[in-house]
Amino acid sequence: MSEPSPRIDAPFPGVPLVAPLYKEAKRQMTQALTRGEWRPGDAIPAERRLAERYGISIGTVRKAIDELVAENMLIRQQGRGTFVPRHNRDRLLFYFFHIVAEDGAKVYPVVRLHAFAAGKADKLAADRLAIALGAPVFKIRNVLSLSDRPVIVDDIVIAGARFPRLTQRMFGERPSTIYHLYQTGFGVSVVRTTERLRATVADAEIAALLQVESDTPLLQIRRVALTYNDVPVEFRVSRVNTQRYEYWSELGGS
């Protein structure tokens, strides 16, 4: 590599653990993404060029890219190139939207901005976003409709420091998804989420928004969205009316 091979802390002295070249290449490529050298929608340099740049063989470059592709940080397209993914509706639906109809069909949600406010981080949000308690945040409430029926209420919290000068107006101009807005407006690319689910009941406010009776059981989803290097950028509480729709999960395997 162009830089000297880094040594991982050896569990015992005298054990010269050297990071594999492909791991180091992967680290450098992740950095190129993080610092914006390669931007969403761009093709990254061809594999042969990366092999030259890093002074390694093409097979080793491919192994690094393989892992980045598996982690959804790059997209390969044969004959065209390798690209930095851009957040659009299809990507959202495929990777980040887990609600499906009873027959398994995925439907594009129609999003309506219901509330937007600046505020301070409470304990839970500060914890999940790894920011200080009371730090400035934006709070957004969206109501999502599926097939013209309100089904989901999203309460989103994001750090003010990461989204400077965010205004309510930007949501109206938004062409597709909020993750697209994060990416194009603030250079924040969501690459992964973790979610925790539990059953709750609708309070009066949520019930009204979802047009159900109070005490209707709802699925509550608490999501943390992460960007490169597992840095949290969004905390979201969703409440889903699972009368006609369900949460889909495919785990413990491929």
Name the residues that contact DNA, by CB under 7 A. 15-18, 20-23, 43-44, 46-49, 56-60, 62-63, 76-82
Stretch that binds its own copies, among 1-9, 21-29, 105-113, 244-252 (CB under 8 A): 244-252
Residue among 56 and 240 whose Cβ is closer to its own copies: 240
User: In this structure, which amino acid lies at residue 111?
Assistant: V
Residue 22 interacting entry, from its own copies, DNA, none, C-beta within 5 to 8 Å by type: DNA
DSSP string covering 34-61? HTTSS-TTPBPPPHHHHHHHHTS-HHHH
**Closer to its own copies at the Cβ: 73 or 166?**
73
In whole angstroms, how close is the CB of 91 to its own copies at the nearest point? Answer: 9
Sign of dihedral through CA atoms 93, 99, 101, 107?
A: negative
Q: Report the alpha-carbon distance of residue 84 to residue 69 in Å, rounded.
A: 10
Min CB(203)–DNA separation in Å = 49
Single residue of 96, 138, 163, 235 touching its own copies by CB under 8 A? 96
Distance CA 169, CA 173 (A): 7
Q: Which does 134 bind (CB under 5 to 8 A by kind): DNA, its own copies, none?
A: none
Residue with smaller CB distance to its own copies, 184 or 193:
193
Closest to DNA by CB, 27 vs 222, is: 27
Asked whether the beta carbons of 61 and 54 are under 8 A apart, the reply is yes
Closest approach of Cβ 170 to DNA, in Å? Answer: 31
In angstroms, how far is the first alpha carbon of the chain from the final one? 32
CB neighbours of 65 closer than 8 A, spacing ≥ 6?
29, 47, 74, 76, 82
Q: Which of 26, 98, 162, 236 binds its own copies (CB under 8 A)?
A: 98
Q: Which residues contact 49 (CB under 8 A, 6 or more apart)?
A: none
